């Protein structure tokens, strides 16, 4: 029995292999996600980090097959290994496949970045949560309301029974985000995707929401894919981290490896831009330039025009580098890994 338990624990919940998501534009076809491979272990929190426009949300939407035209998954496979039942190839499901509807909000749920866009303004909170319950569970309306009240109480909403009759606009931002989390967790998903779940909240409410998610994750053994640009949130929440730049993962490892011994210059730049008490009032460093357009991706390493360690005729040649083992023990996609080992 112990061996069986260990085997279940070590089975990855979700595997993304060589995912490419393209969009057809007036300037031609561009790849918003290009060759992403990522594993999410059961019961762990994986952070997906990067600047806006790096492909984090597109990767997340692909897991639930929510990419809208003119976007499409051109290549790759997304494979889910549920605790009960057979493995599922999400990329092979048709758009009207019943298994896809059971997947969304059932085995995999998502917390969207802005709660007001995820909640209907013309339906009460109770109607929306009960609908999410009854889509995936065969229960009566009364039983669904009891489950809704229980979940609202678990996410820290006082007077939960009365809140069922309120509309989203009658609640504060923090309360709305708690409602969205309740909707996502009420089906007891095996994977929760959180897309910048605290962006619109002040720092006090942000800390409360993160503590709430962490506690519920431990209680329910739910895996979380946390999408964020904030490495401070990653340090607080995550077990593993993948850093994205221009649709590709450029560094991948445990949170301790990434924060203590970052290898890719982009990751180092992100970490250097974090505020610190040791800096005093000195100006925060920043990464020069901005993320280029997907139709103007440079040759060689895509980060080389902004990289302080750029080396001509090395970093600007050929295609983008693949992930490979770094001297620190985790993976990074840099052509000068060994030469940068001692760099600050």
Residue 276 confidence class, pLDDT cut points 50, 70, 90: low
Mean pLDDT of 253-266: 94
pLDDT at 289 over 90: no
Bond prior to 70 in cis (omega within 30° of 0) = yes
Give CA–CA dist 111/132, Å, rounded. 13
Determine what percent of the chain is predicted with pLDDT higher than 70: 93
pTM: 0.88
pLDDT at 219 over 90: no
Question: What 3-state DSSP class applies to 174?
Answer: helix
Among the residue ranges 45-49, 57-61, 231-235, the one predicted with the least confidence is 231-235
Residue 33 pairs in a beta bridge with 21
Mean pLDDT of 276-302: 80
| Residue 100 DSSP code | H
* pLDDT at residue 5, as a whole number: 40
Those residues whose C-beta lies under 8 Å from the C-beta of residue 182, and which sit 6 or more positions away, are: 129, 148, 151, 152, 154, 155, 157
pLDDT at 2 over 60: no
Residue 111 pairs in a beta bridge with 194
Mean pLDDT of 77-97: 90
Give CA–CA dist 152/129, Å, rounded. 9
Which of 14-23, 108-117, 131-140, 151-160 has maximum average pLDDT? Answer: 14-23
Question: What 3-state DSSP class applies to 54?
Answer: coil
Residue 247 near residue 76 (C-beta atoms within 8 A): no
Number of domains in the chain: 1
Give CA–CA dist 240/197, Å, rounded. 18
Strands 240-245, 45-49: pairing kind: parallel
- Domain holding 184, by residue range, is 108-188
Determine what percent of the chain is predicted with pLDDT higher than 90: 50
Residue at token pair 């519920």:
216
Would you say the C-alpha torsion 76, 56, 136, 69 has a positive or negative sign? negative
Give CA–CA dist 337/9, Å, rounded. 33
* pLDDT at residue 341, as a whole number: 60
* Residue 95 counted as domain residue: no
* Residue 182 counted as domain residue: yes
Give CA–CA dist 255/244, Å, rounded. 15
* pLDDT at residue 299, as a whole number: 92
Residue 130 confidence class, pLDDT cut points 50, 70, 90: very high
* pLDDT at residue 8, as a whole number: 43
| Residue 107 DSSP code | T
* Residue 103 counted as domain residue: no
pLDDT at 4 over 70: no
Residue 326: left if φ>0, alpha if ψ -120 to 50, beta else—which one? beta
User: Measured in whole angstroms, how far is the alpha carbon of residue 49 from the centre of its chain?
Assistant: 8
Burial of 332 (0-12, 13-18, 19+ CB in 10 A): buried
* Residue 129 counted as domain residue: yes
Half-sphere exposure of 187 (CA within 13 A, CB side): 27
Give CA–CA dist 321/232, Å, rounded. 27
Residue 285 confidence class, pLDDT cut points 50, 70, 90: confident
* pLDDT at residue 49, as a whole number: 95
* pLDDT at residue 267, as a whole number: 94
Total residue length of the chain: 344
* Residue 259 counted as domain residue: no
Residue 212 near residue 244 (C-beta atoms within 8 A): no
* Residue 22 counted as domain residue: no
Would you say the C-alpha torsion 316, 319, 325, 329 has a positive or negative sign? positive
Among the residue ranges 52-61, 281-290, 323-332, the one predicted with the least confidence is 281-290
Give CA–CA dist 141/124, Å, rounded. 14
* Residue 143 counted as domain residue: yes
| Structure tokens, 16 | 């993304």
Give CA–CA dist 153/118, Å, rounded. 20
* Residue 150 counted as domain residue: yes
Q: Which has more pLDDT, 240 or 99?
A: 240
């Amino acid at each position: 029995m112990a061996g069986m338990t260990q085997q279940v624990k070590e089975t990855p919940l979700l595997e993304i292999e060589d995912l490419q998501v393209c969009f057809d534009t007036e300037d031609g076809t561009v790849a918003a996600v290009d060759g992403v491979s990522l594993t999410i272990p059961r019961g762990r929190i994986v952070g997906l980090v990067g600047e806006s426009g790096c492909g984090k949300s597109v990767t997340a939407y692909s897991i639930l097959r929510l990419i809208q035209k003119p976007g499409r998954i051109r290549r790759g496979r997304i494979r889910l290994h549920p605790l009960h039942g057979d493995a599922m190839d999400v990329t092979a499901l048709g758009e009207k496949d019943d298994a896809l509807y059971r997947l969304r909000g059932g085995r995999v749920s998502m917390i969207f970045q802005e709660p007001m866009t995820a909640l209907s303004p013309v339906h009460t909170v109770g109607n929306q949560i009960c609908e999410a319950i009854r889509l995936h569970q065969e229960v009566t309306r009364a039983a669904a309301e009891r489950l809704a009240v229980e979940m609202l109480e678990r996410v820290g909403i006082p007077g939960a029974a009365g809140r069922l009759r309120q509309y989203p606009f009658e609640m504060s931002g923090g309360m709305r985000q708690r409602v969205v989390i309740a909707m996502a967790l009420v089906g007891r998903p095996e994977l929760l995707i959180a897309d910048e779940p605290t962006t619109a909240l002040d720092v006090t409410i942000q800390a409360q929401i993160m503590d709430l998610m962490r506690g519920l994750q431990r209680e329910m053994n739910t895996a979380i894919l946390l999408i964020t640009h904030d490495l401070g949130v990653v340090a607080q929440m995550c077990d593993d981290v993948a850093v994205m730049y221009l649709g590709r993962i450029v560094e991948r490892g445990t949170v301790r490896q990434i924060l203590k011994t970052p290898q890719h210059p982009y990751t180092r730049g992100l970490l250097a831009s974090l505020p610190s008490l040791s800096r005093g009032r000195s100006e925060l460093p920043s990464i020069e330039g901005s993320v280029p357009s997907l139709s103007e991706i440079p040759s060689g390493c895509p980060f080389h025009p902004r990289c302080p360690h750029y080396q001509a005729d090395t970093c600007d040649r050929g295609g983008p580098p693949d992930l490979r083992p770094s001297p620190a023990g985790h993976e990074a996609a840099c052509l000068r890994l060994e030469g940068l080992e001692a760099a600050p």
